[in-house]
C-alpha cells in the first residue's frame, strides 16, 4: 500500500505518522515543496521576537521513522486516472510518484489585500518559514524603528507583542471595529487596552490603501485619514486555502474555495483524502462544514485521514473553534460560538460576563478572570465560552473544560455537576468555570422572570 502525501506540515505529517502506526507495512511518502518538515508556524512570532533564538527548535518533530520525506518536491499535477502525481524538483528535475491513496495537505497561504505597494522592500507577509527568514534578515540588517501591522488577528497581535519585545514602535491598522474579531467586542476592547498599555498604537476601522517609499522610510496611507511612517510593514489579514492542486484534479470546493470532504476526510475520488487548511472543517456545534484553518484541527484531521487511508474507519470529531492567544501578559481563549455567531444561526444566544478570581483570594497571587458564557436562552445548552486574564492563571486549560463540555453538548447548568480539582492556590471549591456557569443561570432566571412580567403587563 503506497500512501502519498502532498504537504509536510501539520496535516501531512500527522497523517503519515498515524498511517504508519496503524499499518506498519504501509509505504508512506511525503512531498514537501520546501525544506521545512512540520515546522511550527505558530512559533514564528516567538522566533522573530528573539524569545526562540534558534529557528531549528520550531520543528514540531524531527523523527520520521519509516516515512520517506521528499524535501523540495513541488507537486504540480495529480493524474487521477493513472494514480500518479507529477512533481517538480530543483534537485532531481521532473518526476512522477505513484499512489494507492493520496492525501492533499497543501495548507493555506496569506491573503494578499488590495494594497498598493505590497511589493516594496520592507513589506512582508508572514506565513512560512521562508517569510520569517526574510523578516528576520530585514530586522537584523535594517533595524527598523517603527512598524505597521495591517490586520489585528492572532498573528498580527502576536507580532505586535514580538516587535515591541525587540524595541520597535508598533502601529496596528485594522478594518475591524476592535482587535481580535474572533472574540466578542467586549474582550477585543480589553485586548486593545493591553496593547496600548504596552505603547502599541491601535487604529481600528481603517482600510489600508497604499504603501509608498518615502526616502528611507515607508509611508502607509489608509481610510479615515490614517497615515503612518515606518520602516517595515507586516501584512497579516488572514489566509486562504491552497486548493488549486485539488481543483485541477477535479475535486469540488466550498466555503472560501476550500476542498470538500466528508467526516472521514474522503473526497469524491475514492483514492484521494484531504486534511488541514486546504479543506473545509466539520463544525461540531453547527453540524455543517465551514472554513476554520487551525493547526490543532489540521493535526486531528490529518490523524483521521492517515488512519482511514490505510483501511481505518474513523470520523473527524469536528471543530469547536477552540483557540487561545497570549498577548503580552494577557491570555485570551475562546471555544464554541460567539454571541453574534450563535445569533446568525438557529440559536437564541444569551451571554453573561462574570469576573472571578482564578484562586482563593486569601492565597497570594490571585488574579481576576473575565469569563463570558454563551448559552441558548430556550434550551439552556452551552454554545460557547471566552476567558480572559493574566498569563499563569490556568486560562487555557480552564477554557478546555468548557470545550470538553461543548464536545458533549452539556447544558450550562450541568457544568456545576462536574467534579473538578481544587486547592486554594489553584482554584475555588466551585471552579471559576462553574461560578460563571451559575452566574449565567441566575441571569437567565432573572431575564425569564422579567420577560414573563413584561408579557403580563
Residues forming contacts to its own copies in the complex (CB under 8 A) are 10, 21, 40, 42-43, 46-47, 51-52, 54, 57-58, 60, 284, 295-300, 303, 317-326, 331, 333, 335, 360-364, 391-392, 394, 396-401, 403-405, 407-408, 416-431, 442
Q: Closer CB to its own copies, residue 343 or residue 420? A: 420
Q: Closer CB to its own copies, residue 216 or residue 362? A: 362
Task: Give me the least distance between CB of 273 and its own copies, in Å please.
Answer: 18
Task: Give me the least distance between CB of 431 and its own copies, in Å please.
Answer: 7
Q: Closer CB to its own copies, residue 219 or residue 390? A: 390
Under DSSP, is residue 81 helix (H, G, I), strand (E, B) or coil? Answer: coil
Question: Which uninterrupted H or E stretch holds 67?
Answer: strand 67-70
Q: Closer CB to its own copies, residue 77 or residue 446? A: 446
Tell me the C-alpha distance between 133 and 129, whole Å. Answer: 6
Reduced 3-state DSSP string for 173-187? EECCCCCCCCCCHHH
Tell me the C-alpha distance between 454 and 73, whole Å. Answer: 68
Task: Give me the least distance between CB of 189 and its own copies, in Å please.
Answer: 21
Task: Give me the least distance between CB of 295 and its own copies, in Å please.
Answer: 5
C-alpha of 121 from chain center: 28
- The answer to whether 317 and 26 are in contact (CB under 8 A) is no
Would you state the cell numbers that stand for residue 107, as one nine-digit string? 495548507
Task: Give me the least distance between CB of 84 and its own copies, in Å please.
Answer: 31
Task: Give me the least distance between CB of 367 and its own copies, in Å please.
Answer: 13
Task: Give me the least distance between CB of 286 and its own copies, in Å please.
Answer: 13
CB-side neighbour CA atoms (13 Å) of 389:
25
Which residues face 223 on adjacent strands? none
Tell me the C-alpha distance between 352 and 342, whole Å. Answer: 14
Q: Closer CB to its own copies, residue 151 or residue 318? A: 318
Task: Give me the least distance between CB of 415 and its own copies, in Å please.
Answer: 9
Tell me the C-alpha distance between 314 and 319, whole Å. Answer: 15
Q: Closer CB to its own copies, residue 49 or residue 80? A: 49
C-alpha of 325 from chain center: 9
Q: Closer CB to its own copies, residue 40 or residue 178? A: 40
Specify burial of residue 71 (Cβ count, 10 A radius: 0-12, 13-18, 19+): middle
Q: Closer CB to its own copies, residue 235 or residue 331? A: 331
Q: For the residues of 276-307, what is the DSSP string, one character each?
A: STTB-EEETTTTEEE----HHHHHHHHHHHHH
User: Dihedral of CA 209/213/214/216: which sign?
Assistant: positive
Amino acid at each position: 500500500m503506497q500512501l502519498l502525501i502532498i504537504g509536510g506540515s501539520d496535516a501531512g505529517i500527522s497523517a503519515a505518522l498515524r498511517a504508519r502506526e496503524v499499518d506498519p507495512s504501509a509505504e508512506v511518502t511525503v512531498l514537501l515543496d520546501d525544506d521545512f518538515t512540520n515546522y511550527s508556524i505558530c512559533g514564528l512570532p516567538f522566533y522573530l521576537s528573539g524569545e526562540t533564538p534558534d529557528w531549528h527548535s520550531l520543528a514540531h518533530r524531527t523523527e520520521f521513522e519509516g516515512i520517506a520525506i521528499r524535501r523540495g518536491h513541488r507537486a504540480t499535477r495529480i493524474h487521477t486516472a493513472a494514480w500518479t502525481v507529477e512533481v517538480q524538483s530543483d534537485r532531481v528535475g521532473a518526476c512522477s510518484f505513484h499512489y494507492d491513496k493520496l492525501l492533499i495537505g497543501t495548507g493555506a497561504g496569506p491573503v494578499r489585500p488590495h494594497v498598493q505597494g505590497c511589493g516594496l522592500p520592507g513589506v512582508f507577509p508572514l506565513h512560512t518559514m521562508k517569510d520569517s527568514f526574510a523578516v528576520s534578515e530585514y530586522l537584523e540588517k535594517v533595524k527598523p524603528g517603527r512598524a505597521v501591522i495591517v490586520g489585528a488577528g492572532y498573528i498580527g497581535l502576536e507580532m505586535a507583542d514580538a516587535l515591541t519585545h525587540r524595541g520597535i514602535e508598533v502601529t496596528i491598522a485594522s478594518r475591524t471595529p476592535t482587535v481580535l474579531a474572533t472574540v466578542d467586542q467586549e474582550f477585543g476592547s480589553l485586548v486593545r487596552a493591553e496593547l496600548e498599555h504596552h505603547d502599541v498604537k491601535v487604529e481600528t476601522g481603517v482600510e489600508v490603501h497604499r504603501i509608498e517609499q518615502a526616502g528611507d522610510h515607508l509611508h502607509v496611507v489608509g481610510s479615515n485619514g490614517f497615515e503612518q511612517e515606518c520602516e517595515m510593514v507586516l501584512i497579516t489579514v488572514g489566509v486562504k486555502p491552497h486548493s488549486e492542486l485539488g481543483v485541477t484534479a477535479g475535486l469540488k470546493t466550498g466555503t472560501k474555495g476550500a476542498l470538500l470532504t466528508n467526516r472521514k476526510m474522503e473526497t469524491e475520488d475514492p483514492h484521494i483524502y484531504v486534511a488541514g487548511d486546504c479543506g473545509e472543517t466539520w463544525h461540531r456545534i453547527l453540524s455543517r462544514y465551514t472554513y476554520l484553518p487551525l493547526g490543532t484541527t489540521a493535526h486531528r484531521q490529518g490523524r483521521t485521514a492517515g488512519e482511514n487511508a490505510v483501511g481505518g474507519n474513523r470520523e473527524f470529531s469536528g471543530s469547536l473553534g477552540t483557540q487561545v492567544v497570549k498577548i503580552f501578559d494577557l491570555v485570551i481563549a475562546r471555544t464554541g460560538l460567539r454571541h453574534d455567531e450563535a445569533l446568525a444561526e438557529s440559536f437564541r444566544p444569551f451571554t453573561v460576563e462574570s469576573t472571578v478570581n482564578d484562586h482563593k483570594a486569601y492565597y497570594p497571587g490571585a488574579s481576576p478572570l473575565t469569563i463570558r458564557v454563551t448559552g441558548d436562552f430556550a434550551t439552556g445548552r452551552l454554545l460557547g465560552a471566552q476567558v480572559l486574564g493574566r498569563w499563569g492563571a490556568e486560562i487555557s486549560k480552564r477554557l478546555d473544560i468548557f470545550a470538553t463540555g461543548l464536545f458533549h453538548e452539556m447544558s450550562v447548568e450541568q457544568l456545576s455537576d462536574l467534579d473538578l480539582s481544587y486547592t486554594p492556590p489553584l482554584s475555588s471549591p466551585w471552579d471559576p468555570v462553574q461560578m460563571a456557569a451559575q452566574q449565567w443561570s441566575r441571569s437567565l432566571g432573572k431575564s425569564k422572570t422579567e420577560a414573563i412580567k413584561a408579557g403580563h403587563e
